[in-house]
Chain A
Amino acid sequence: MQMPPALAPALPAGEAGQHYYLPSRSLAPAPPAAAPGWQRQQRRAYGWGLYPALMVLALITLAPLLTLIVVSLTPLSLTDPAGTFHFRDPLGNYRQLLKDPRFLHSLWVQFQLSSVGVTLQLLMGLGIALLLHGRSPVLGAVRSLFLIPMVLPPIVVALIWKILYTPDISPLHQALEALGWPLRSLIANPDTALWAVVAADTWQWFPFTMLMVLAALQMIPDDPLEAARMDGANRWQLLRFIVFPHIRAVLLVCALFRLIDSFKAFPLLYVLTNGGPGTVTEVTNFYGFIQAFNFSFWGYGSAIALVMLAGVFALSALVSRLGREGGHDAR
């Protein structure tokens, strides 16, 4: 397509399309050289067109966040909203968090749940994806079966595991007892309760990693694999030096998604253990939920939520950075 004569000199080759189709550039700093007047008008027009959408987006995403920040700076309690919505000690909630042993314990529980749970999900997802990678109707059917836990509503998953973990009615416990290996309740034992929740969470979410890795495996070109095989590489070497570099970025994305999601673990804990026995399975968001919705301490609950948010941001940044560094290494 022939460009209009006035446009051709102003747009470097390869960028013309971006100028036309990425109106967000209109928000970028102006280029050193003054752009022709019609271009400025065009950018301004794009900008005006974009502002309503940006405002809606800001309203939807930033307003709740700002509310959360503001509320976290107050001791707001819903039993006395008028008397407790003030800023006399804006950092009071945060100071109290540092001294609250139940909150600090919840961070440790969260760390254990997230780190072990996500690691297991990645390992299982990767392992099963490698086993099921292939072109056969049987493998396709098995892949579909493995996806079922992921698409079940979380509350259904929680109920399935509640049945499995209740010795009186559990087929698992009954089968083990029949074999002469009676198993005590896992969710009532403080040594096993958290790991019982981790097992249920892993069962539900390893298919996510499996699905992502399977998709990545299908993108690996055959040539390097065949070349390596001809050079005598064994299966481990193929995995280590060819397959793994190709799927590493996907694994990092999976880790990031699952890590963030693990902070939101709730239905499993609510149904299986209710944070107990004692507080051994009480993760941070569960504790925040209790403070806000059982006790009506919204200020304190908001402070807990903000600390979690900061944690999620920090983790996301860390994982992204690791991903970038990993990418450089791979190259």
Chain B
Amino acid sequence: MGASALWGMPAFAQRAKPLQGTTLNVALFSTAYSKLLRPWIAEFEESTGARVNFDTPGFPVYNQRTDLELSTKGSAYDVVNVTFIYSSRWINSGWLTPLDDFIANRNLTPADFDINDFLAGARAPETGADGKLYGVPWTAEVTLAAASRFDVLRSAGLAFPDTLDDFSRAVQTAHRKERAAGFVTDNHYGWTFPPFLQAFGGDVFRKAPHDLFPTLDTPEAIAAADYFARLLRDFGPDGAVSYTADQSLQSLKSGRSNLGIQGQIYLSQLADKASSKVAATTAWGAVPRGPAGRFPGSAVHGLGIPVGSKNAPAAWQFIAWATSRQITQRAVAAGYGSPTRRSDMQSQVFAERQRVNGYDIAKLSSEAIDLAAKQGHMKYRTVAVYPQIDQQINKAIELIVSGQKSAAAAMQQAQIGALAELKRSGIAV
């Protein structure tokens, strides 16, 4: 059996080297999935004859580069990651190619591809206002909470924190126990702060996506910012405000910080016995519940085709391969923790891998995705102007944590900045 048949290639692709002479430029940010995919690409090249340039810079660099490339409708890339935060902007500006025709074409897409196997909640952000699909999701990330030294909390008589009060108490209890800071998180606060903002009853906009009046200076938003910044300032590791996602993860993995709020792709790595000192003592749970409820962040990334690509059918071949059942199952078997196919999430392999120390990370993740889909609280994130507002939130939290401004002053400044950004973007508020 040929490699193409093995990977579920359609009839077209099962001809000998159907893409011979084609070079595909694929861009994805550096992540667990891209690292898994990289060594397998040789098999795609072998079966199709295509040559693949696989570029995986860091997340911010990727976004800047791709945003610029897409905006010029250039042909430098054939396949790109449709980044969650940019999805509305890229899709609704007409910078991506609709995929529906490729999916429906049995010559280009194998029958078992089954787009409906991808979670509906994961497909939604990749769908344009025209109802067409512009990206096939490869990850559905949610924010979770973890306690790397849950043994310390347990010995103090505490359960895994459920509410904001519990969380605050746990962080205070854990701080400076066994040389660990109480709390750490990724300094992309536009991602890690909203679960707290919404739990307090606040939000980024009044009612995204229809009413984009920013609500960053409401009493709830100020209280949330004060609470969140205090966690970092009083109970974070020294220099917490400069901690990137990787640094934050390393701090948790090495036991230098105890509680953390981060994406499950990162937090599930705490279970990796080869690299984590806290694999045996970590506990996982949902982000804390506040007066307004629980609001886990969720973000979906998908693979799409730039409108300027000169190799769209071949690019689709790559996407169909990279998100095929065979590849995603293989990734899950290799430890991939963020699948988007329901069949993968329900598989025995995934369930076993995600059950660690008595905690079911897969269940926590799927519950968070379902909750986000049900409550619709992530709609703030896919409006075209969100990158600017995200930056306002980042700066506001930094100002509070570093003691440059009070929560009220920083959030009022963010509100003014957000209004100015909306005005500049031509959005009437």
Using a CB–CB cutoff of 8 Å, the interface residues on chain A facing chain B are: 77-81, 102, 165-168, 184-185, 187-190, 272-274, 276-280, 290, 293-297, 300
Contact = CB atoms under 8 A, between A and B. Distances in A.
A102 B417 CA distance: 10
Given A79-B425, A188-B242, A189-B402, A167 B237 contact: yes
Nearest to B402: A277
Contact of B239 (A102, A187, A279, A300): A187
Interface residues of B, number: 35
Contact of A190 (B67, B72, B404): B404
Given A273-B242, A293-B64, A294-B391, A79 B403 contact: no
A300 B402 CA distance: 29
B401 interface: yes
A159 B402 CA distance: 23
Contacts of A272: 242
Given A188-B241, A273-B242, A293 B68 contact: yes
B389 to A, nearest CB: 10
A277 B384 contact: no
B395 A278 contact: yes
A225 B68 CA distance: 59
Contacts of B52: none
Given A188-B241, A188-B242, A296 B395 contact: no
Given A77-B425, A294-B64, A295-B388, A278 B398 contact: yes
Given A168-B238, A278-B404, 5 more contacts: A166-B247, A276-B398, A277-B401, A279-B395, A295-B421
Contact of B238 (A79, A185, A293, A300): A185
A78 B94 CA distance: 12
Interface of B: 64, 67-68, 71-72, 89, 93, 237-242, 247, 251, 254, 256, 384, 387-388, 391, 394-395, 398-399, 401-405, 417, 421, 424-426
A188 B404 contact: no
- State the main secondary structure of chain A at its contact with B: loop
Given A167-B237, A168-B251, A293-B64, A185 B242 contact: yes
B250 to A, nearest CB: 8
Going nearest first, the 7 A-B pairs with the smallest beta carbon separation are A185-B239, A78-B71, A277-B402, A188-B239, A278-B399, A167-B238, A277-B398
Contacts of B256: 168
Contact of B68 (A78, A188, A190, A276): A78
Contacts of B251: 168
Nearest to A96: B424
